[in-house]
Every structure is written in C-alpha cells, then in structure tokens.
C-alpha cells in the first residue's frame, strides 16, 4: 500500500473539487454520463454527470492505481488522490 492509499479509510468524504465519476478506478476508464449515476448522484451532479464540490460521498472500497488512489462510491469511481493532489476531505 502506498502512502496516498494509506491516508484513506472507508467512510464518508466531501469533495473539494468537481469530480467526474468513472466506470472504473482510473482515467483510462470512461466517465459516466448523468443518466448513469444513481438518483442521489444525479441530485449532486451537473448535467454532464460531474459531482459538484461539497458533495458528500460514501466510499466502500479504496483502490490504488499506480501512485493514485480511487474510491468506489454508489455511482462508480472517483479520484481521492490523483497526480499527487488530494480531491476529498474526510467528512465529520
């Protein structure tokens, strides 16, 4: 487990930026369309299927892909840490 992955635990996170939801844990996976998100995901997304900054998500699995860390959420996968940048904060 790399350092970026070790910084994350399962649970609820708040997005610090707008994030694409992907089909799998990596940028080589296609981004999901708005219509492919869960009902709750749609309530917190732009019409392009991007989850809005401030959205709280439940991470049920943490996946390392190279040096990046991805989280599985009900709508798909989001980057928790990508390119050395953190995109979420643990929600209280």
pLDDT digits over 21-80, tens only?
A: 999 999 999 999 999 999 999 999 999 999 999 999 999 999 999 999 999 999 999 999
CA-based nearest residue to 75, from 7, 20, 28, 12: 20
* Domains annotated on the chain, with CATH: 3-90 (2.30.30)
H/E run at residue 42: helix 39-43
- Bridge partners of residue 88, in order along the sequence: 15
- Indicate the pLDDT class of residue 92, thresholds 50, 70 and 90: confident
């Amino acid at each position: 487990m790399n350092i970026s992955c070790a910084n994350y635990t399962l649970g609820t996170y708040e997005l610090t930026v707008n994030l694409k939801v992907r089909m799998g844990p990596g940028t080589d996976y296609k981004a999901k369309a708005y219509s492919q998100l869960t009902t709750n995901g749609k309530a917190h997304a732009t019409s392009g299927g991007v989850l809005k900054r401030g959205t709280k998500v439940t991470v049920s699995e943490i996946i390392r892909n190279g040096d990046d860390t991805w989280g599985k959420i009900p709508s798909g996968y989001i980057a928790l840490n990508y390119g050395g940048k953190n995109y979420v904060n643990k929600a209280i």
